[in-house]
Amino acid sequence: MSYIVTGACVDCKYTSCVEVCPVEAFHETPDRLLINADDCVNCDACVPECPVEAIYAEENVPEEMHDWIEKNQDAENFPKLGEPKDALKGPKCVNPNAG
């Protein structure tokens, strides 16, 4: 079991989740974050921090978002993000005014 970043993160990349993660489980792609299941300790700290509600415990990922479980398995192929940074808020961000 791990936690999963889903599509709402795409182009928003607020990184407030990174600030509270105790184990640096987040990896950064150009337009989203992913969680490395090998590092995630299932602490739940990141879920309430995400202003666009992009993060779910794996067993709570809604059916229509299940493809994101596999996408997060790719996390190791991208660099770790250990510190929060300015949000991306790109044109596809579901809510650029959320955080």
Q: Token pair for residue 23?
A: 């184990």
Beta strands in the chain (DSSP E): 3-5, 26-28, 33-35, 55-57
The closest alpha carbon to 24, from 47, 52, 46, 57, belongs to 46
- Under the binding rule (CB under 6 A), the answer on residue 21 touching ligand F3S is no
Q: How far is the CB of 63 from ligand F3S (least distance, A)?
A: 20
Among residues 54, 56, 61, 72, which is the contact residue for ligand F3S, using CB under 6 A?
54
Q: What residues between 29 and 48 interact with ligand F3S by CB under 6 A?
A: 33
Residues binding ligand F3S (CB under 6 A): 5, 9, 12-17, 33, 49-50, 52, 54-55
